[in-house]
Amino acid sequence: MRFETVFLAQAALGECPLWCGQTQRLWWVDIEAPAIHCLDPATGQNDTLPMDENVGCIALRAGGGFIAGLRSGLWLLDADGRKERLVANPQADTSISRFNDGRADPWGRFWAGTIYEPRDRPDAALYRVGTDLDCVQMAGDIKVSNGVAFSPDRCWMYHSDTPAHVIYRYPLDPDTGKIGPREVFHQFPFGNGRPDGAAVDRDGFYWSALYEGGRVVRLSPDGDIVAEFPVPARCPTMCAFGGPDLRTLFVTSARHGRSAQELSDWPESGNLFAMQVDVTGQPEPRFAG
Q: Which residues are designated catalytic?
A: 196
Query: 209 phi and psi, to 5 degrees?
Result: -85, 125
Query: In sequence order, which ranges of the chain are alpha helices (DSSP H)?
Result: 260-265
Q: Give the whole-angstrom CA distance, residue 198 versus residue 200.
A: 7
For the chain, the first-to-last Cα distance in angstroms comes to 38
Report which DSSP code applies to 264: H
Q: Which amino acid, 272?
A: L
Q: How many CB atoms lie within 10 A of CB 137?
A: 11
Report which DSSP code applies to 279: S
Query: 86 phi and psi, to 5 degrees?
Result: -80, 120
Q: Give the whole-angstrom CA distance, residue 284 versus residue 155.
A: 17
